[in-house]
Amino acid sequence: MAEQNFVDYVKILFRSGKGGSGSVHFYRGAGVPKGGPDGGDGGRGGNIILKADPQEWTLLTLKFTRHLYAENGQGGSGGLKSGSDGRDVIVKVPLGTVARDAETGEVLTEITEPDEEKILFPGGRGGKGNAFFKGPTHQSPKYAQPGEEGIEQWVVLELKVLADVGLVGFPNAGKSTLLSSVSAAKPKIGDYPFTTLVPQLGIVQVRDNHTFIMADIPGIIEGAHEGRGLGHRFLRHIERNSILLFMVPADTDRSIQEEYDILVNELQKFNPDLLDKPRMLAISKCDLIDDDLEAMLRPTLPKGVPAIFMSAVTTKNLQKLKDELWKVLNAE
């Protein structure tokens, strides 16, 4: 996925349509100079609708959209004719899209299921014509309702990548190399920080045609929960992953325990609920150490989290890693 084509944040002013006004009208015909009220109702204003599009992976199509206005409903007319409803605005978005109030940050709605369709802002109701108000004591009402106003509001659309397994680690932990080794995804790989600037998705085949989706999320740095580095831009993508696969390179300057603790701490400060997700630990780049050093490192690994020594370069334990992830996914 090209970096310039991945858009996960847009801000748009939405306005649903105003309802049409009811009509004040009285029937007039040959031989009927003073007929009764026959004013029709106004039409409903157009809705603003968010619709899931499984073919979309980004908000790119909305990147340059600043305003989206639904059509107003038409007014009613004589002969009990109701005005036509305003056309809806249907906004196609990828799965994982969250709509927030741009001012308060309140979540308005989320799109998480294929073909899901939700009304973000309903159109205003049409006003009732004077025929509606006719009664025994008001046989010739000379009034009708105005249409209800639509809703105008700035909304932020955020994309949170949906994946079964999310890779969590510092820059250069080997996440992109792993993803390219176990799937057909081809993320940019380089020996410098923040090679990956946007989430990358790959379909991983396990056995017997079973597959799951793995996401390579841009690397964490200390203070990411405060917005440092890529900060919140990538942390929100982790929220929608079923399993968190922490990756720490075997040649880290810190201990594996210390690096793992920092990663966990960043997630906890961003969103404590993330730590309720199943976790696994992959010690990457094991082609850089020998068996003796691996044996020395094992007793120092974090307790309570399944760990696998692996190498995407030599394919060491790649199949074992996929099998273990598949087991956890099925257990979930």
Residue 174: its pLDDT value, please? Answer: 83
32 burial level (CB within 10 Å; 0-12, 13-18, 19+): exposed
What is the DSSP secondary structure assignment for residue 286, as one 8-state letter? Answer: G
In the chain, what are the domains? 1-159 (2.70.210.12), 163-331 (3.40.50.300)
How far apart CA 271 and CA 172 sit, in angstroms, is: 24
Exposure of 200 in the CB half-sphere (CA atoms within 13 A): 28
Residue 332: its pLDDT value, please? Answer: 58
- Closest Cα partner for 199 from 223, 228, 224, 165? 165
How far apart CA 143 and CA 22 sit, in angstroms, is: 9
**What is the 3-state secondary structure of 230-255?**
CCHHHHHHHCCEEEEEEEEECCCCCC
Helices (H) and strands (E) in the chain, counts: 5, 14
- Closest Cα partner for 164 from 207, 93, 215, 219? 215
How far apart CA 200 and CA 312 sit, in angstroms, is: 17
Q: What is the pTM of this model?
A: 0.70
pLDDT means per 10 residues, the chain with 332 residues, are 66 97 92 88 97 87 94 96 97 92 94 92 96 90 95 93 85 83 64 54 84 79 50 66 91 89 87 88 91 90 93 92 92 70
pLDDT, tens digit (0-9, with 9 covering 90-100), for 154-205: 999 998 877 889 888 888 788 888 888 888 656 544 444 444 456 777 888 8
Q: Which two tokens stand for residue 332?
A: 């979930």
Cα–Cα separations (whole angstroms), residue 332 to 205, 277, 326, 328: 18, 10, 10, 6
Cα–Cα separations (whole angstroms), residue 321 to 165, 179, 280: 12, 12, 9
Residue 194: its pLDDT value, please? Answer: 43
CA angle at 152 for the pair 87 and 11, rounded to the nearest 5°: 100
Q: Which two tokens stand for residue 259?
A: 């690096």
Q: Which two tokens stand for residue 146?
A: 């105005």
Cβ-contact 286, 310 below 8 angstroms = yes
Cβ-contact 271, 237 below 8 angstroms = no
pLDDT, tens digit (0-9, with 9 covering 90-100), for 200-248: 778 888 888 888 888 887 756 555 445 444 445 567 777 778 899 999 9
How far apart CA 196 and CA 101 sit, in angstroms, is: 29
Task: Indicate the SS3 state at residue 274.
Answer: helix
Residue 221: its pLDDT value, please? Answer: 58
- Left if phi > 0, otherwise alpha if psi is -120 to 50, otherwise beta: which for 268? alpha
Q: Which two tokens stand for residue 16?
A: 């649903």
Taking every pair of C-alpha atoms in the chain, what is the biggest distance, in angstroms? 108
Cβ-contact 135, 37 below 8 angstroms = no
Residue 229: its pLDDT value, please? Answer: 43
Residue 156: its pLDDT value, please? Answer: 96
State phi, psi for 130 to the nearest 5 degrees: -65, -20
Residue 2: its pLDDT value, please? Answer: 46
State phi, psi for 324 to the nearest 5 degrees: -65, -40
